[in-house]
């Protein structure tokens, strides 16, 4: 058994999640309590989440479910309010990591039976509004595409993750932009022969053969559960072929204990019994089922 899994079971503290909203913190139960089927008490609430992500320019959205909150605590949650999801293993304060920092898009309270109710929080990753933002801008002759990109990113209310384009062309006659920011930025990225990726409130414009270093190495000793060939989606191939032109690279599915540092376009090292090397994330999700905290990603060789 992987050392990390055994460590959690021996210490008995297990994994926990933390939802922060309106200055108030809502801790989940640890795995031991969740496995016993306890929904809520002074130690926390049964909490589940599903946070999917991919390499498109769309915002990433997710869902959190919290069981048996009081009416007073449910009232703390409001639409369009910032919400933060963290998770970690025992001891939590030492190992807590950000899963998603976002905005509440919708709230649903529903009874499961006579005594059990669940609050479902649908959240965006704080980039959900950028596709509808517009701009009117004029850039003088000789402006670099990277300068235009940075200006548009700021106008969209987002931050620059990294801009490392294949080329940085000069618009010799200048550039006038009127309309939605997203398609204009996508056009500028194409002019740079680069990919555009939006994640966790940041925008990345990178060469097709470059990902985002995560510093993660997955092995059986630190949470790797399985790695195997997977059925690739058409969107996987479209993205992967950008850095493997003319090839049909194999896409793999990797499952591990929750690893929030892995996100769309993340590069990481894999040291499995049947698969080793450097890989890049195409899509995946971070999930808590109540009993398990897992990361599942589709990847291809970097």
CA distance 274 to 226: 10
What does the angle CA 63 – CA 284 – CA 122 come to, to the nearest 5 degrees?
Answer: 10
Reported as a single tens digit per residue, the pLDDT across 277-299 is 999 998 899 999 877 899 999 99
Q: What's residue 6's pLDDT?
A: 37
Tell me the average pLDDT across 12-32.
80
Q: Which residue has the tokens 């550039």?
A: 175
- Sequence-distant (≥ 6) Cβ neighbours of residue 127 within 8 angstroms: 59, 60, 158, 198, 199, 200, 201
Radius of gyration of the chain (CA): 21
| H/E element, 21 | strand 15-21
- Sequence-distant (≥ 6) Cβ neighbours of residue 23 within 8 angstroms: none
Strands 44-45 and 47-54: unpaired
Reported as a single tens digit per residue, the pLDDT across 50-71 is 999 887 766 667 999 999 888 8
Residue 208 DSSP code:
T
**pLDDT mean across residues, the chain:** 84
Reported as a single tens digit per residue, the pLDDT across 232-289 is 665 655 566 665 666 667 889 999 999 999 998 899 999 987 889 999 998 899 999 8
């Amino acid at each position: 058994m992987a050392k990390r899994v055994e460590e959690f079971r021996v210490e008995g503290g297990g994994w926990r999640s933390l939802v922060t909203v309106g200055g108030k913190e809502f801790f989940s139960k640890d795995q031991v309590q969740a496995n016993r089927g306890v929904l809520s008490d002074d130690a926390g609430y049964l909490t589940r989440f599903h946070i999917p992500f991919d390499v498109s320019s769309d915002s990433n959205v997710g869902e959190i479910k919290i069981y048996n909150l009081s009416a007073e605590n449910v009232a703390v949650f409001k639409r369009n309010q910032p919400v933060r999801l963290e998770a970690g293993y025992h001891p939590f304060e030492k190992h807590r990591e950000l899963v998603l920092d976002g905005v509440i898009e919708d709230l649903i309270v529903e009874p499961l039976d006579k005594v059990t109710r669940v609050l479902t929080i649908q959240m965006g990753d704080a980039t959900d509004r950028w596709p509808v933002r517009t701009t009117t801008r004029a850039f003088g002759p000789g402006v670099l595409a990277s300068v235009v990109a940075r200006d548009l990113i700021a106008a969209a209310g987002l931050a620059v993750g990294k801009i490392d384009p294949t080329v940085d062309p000069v618009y010799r006659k200048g550039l006038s932009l009127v309309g939605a920011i997203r398609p204009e930025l996508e056009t500028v990225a194409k002019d740079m022969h680069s990919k555009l990726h939006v994640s966790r409130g940041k925008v990345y414009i990178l060469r097709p053969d470059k990902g985002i270093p995560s510093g993660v190495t997955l092995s059986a000793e630190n949470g790797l559960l399985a790695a195997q060939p997977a059925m690739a989606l058409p969107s996987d191939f479209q993205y992967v072929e950008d850095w493997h032109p003319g090839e049909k690279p194999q896409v793999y599915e990797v499952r591990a204990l929750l690893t929030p540092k892995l996100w769309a376009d993340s590069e990481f090292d894999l040291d499995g019994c049947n698969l080793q090397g450097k890989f890049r994330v195409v899509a995946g999700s971070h999930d808590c089922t109540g009993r398990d905290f897992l990361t599942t990603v589709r990847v291809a060789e970097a």
